[in-house]
């Protein structure tokens, strides 16, 4: 049942991505379309993360961050966009470290991905924790 919900969510996010891509291409000066396109990539990254599709998650998060960084160049004083960039980077950077580790280390539980949350539930930081076996 849960897998079906994730598949449905992914299909919905991909449809939104298609629409937002077209809108952003049609009106590149409209920053709102760029922000919504970046959100679409972030949503796809979230579903990929939940589904343990790490490479897809990283790719989606990186695309979202890239778009937000381009928009930051146009509006450097937009603090909300800066917060979103940081949030997305917290989401995907630990996966780059995990992907670089030897599979034997990950398979034996030698590394664990953990997230540290603030009291409001928002991610504060993610880290890779090594544990001795």
Task: Give residue-wise pLDDT tens across range 86-96.
Answer: 888 777 666 66
Cα(52)–Cα(78) distance, integer angstroms: 32
Q: Residue 64: inside a domain, yes or no?
A: yes
119 assigned to some structural domain: no
**What average pLDDT does the segment 74-84 reach?**
89
Under DSSP, is residue 121 helix (H, G, I), strand (E, B) or coil?
Answer: coil
Name the average pLDDT for the chain: 76
**Burial class of 130 by CB neighbour count within 10 A (0 to 12, 13 to 18, 19+):** exposed
Assigned domain for 108 exists: no
Greater confidence, 126 or 91?
A: 91
Q: What is the CATH number of the domain that holds 33?
A: 1.25.40
Is the residue at 102 inside a domain? no
Span 53-75, pLDDT tens digits: 888 888 998 899 999 999 999 99
Residue 131 maps to a domain: no
CA-CA-CA-CA torsion sign (83, 88, 33, 67): positive
Question: Which residues lie below 8 Å from residue 79, measured CB to CB, with a gap of 6+?
Answer: none
Which residue segment(s) compose the domain that 19 sits in? 2-93
Strands (DSSP E) along the chain, which ranges? 111-117, 123-130
With contact defined as beta carbons under 8 Å apart, do 17 and 37 qualify? yes
Q: How many separate domains does the chain show? A: 1
Residue 76 lies inside a defined structural domain of this protein: yes
Does residue 123 fall inside a structural domain? no
Tell me, yes or no, whether 14 lies in a domain.
yes
């Amino acid at each position: 049942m849960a897998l079906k919900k994730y598949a449905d969510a992914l299909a919905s996010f991909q449809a939104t991505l298609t629409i937002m891509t077209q809108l952003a291409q049609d009106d590149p000066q409209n920053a709102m379309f760029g922000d919504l396109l970046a959100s679409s990539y972030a949503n796809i990254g979230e579903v990929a993360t939940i589904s343990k599709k790490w490479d897809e998650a990283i790719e989606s998060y990186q695309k979202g961050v890239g778009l937000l960084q381009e928009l930051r160049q146009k509006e450097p004083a937009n603090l909300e966009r800066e917060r979103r960039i940081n949030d997305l980077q917290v989401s995907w950077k630990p996966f780059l470290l995990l992907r670089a580790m030897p599979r034997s280390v990950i398979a034996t539980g030698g590394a664990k991905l953990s997230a540290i949350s603030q009291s409001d539930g928002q991610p504060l930081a993610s880290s890779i924790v090594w544990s001795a076996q």
